Amino acid sequence: MILIISTCSETLHELEFVKPIEDIIGKEFKTVNYKDLTQKHIDSAEKIIICGTSLKDNTFLKELGKFSWIKEYSKPLLGICAGMQIIGLVFGGKIKKKKEIGLIVSNFDKTFLGLDGVKQVYALHNNFIDFSKIPEFEVFAKSLSCDQAVKHRAKKIYGVLFHPEVRNKEFIKKFCLL
């Protein structure tokens, strides 16, 4: 079972940031808001996806303790936008301001779950984390402004700042096959 964790503080936003991921997965999954997340949810999941949220919804930043389990998690984990920021913060990164909205070009230095070379990706964020300053992570793709795709060097922990549920849906399918 794939666990989808919503970072949305409003249920309506889940239609934009969570529902498309549920539709792409198309197999057994469970969706839980991070505020309701339990250790039982985490333990029963084969993989976890932490979804993004709206530009003005940063409530999750005040509750990072709810994500402390990430450092010890040993199964595949994907953080999308806010999810990538959460992963970076848990590993000691710092939030930086940079707004990117719409289609942007991202350069993948190496193949990253099926994506490589120069790709158009859909961005919708106000913040980012400089993962080059977090030694546990390798940066796989950048836009002109910030890191767009990262992977933990020893674990199957992935992060993307862009929204593959909007464009590059095959990326989510590849993650589900890990």
Catalytic residues: 81, 163, 165
Unique residue bearing structure tokens 């989808």: 4
R_g of the chain, CA atoms, integer Å: 14
Beta 2-6 vs 29-33: how paired, if at all? parallel
Beta 147-152 vs 77-80: how paired, if at all? unpaired
| Distance, CA of 35 to CA of 33 (rounded, Å) | 5
Please provide the distance, in angstroms rounded to a whole number, between the alpha carbons at the two ends of the chain. 13
| Distance, CA of 90 to CA of 84 (rounded, Å) | 10
- Cβ neighbours, 10 Å, residue 57: 16
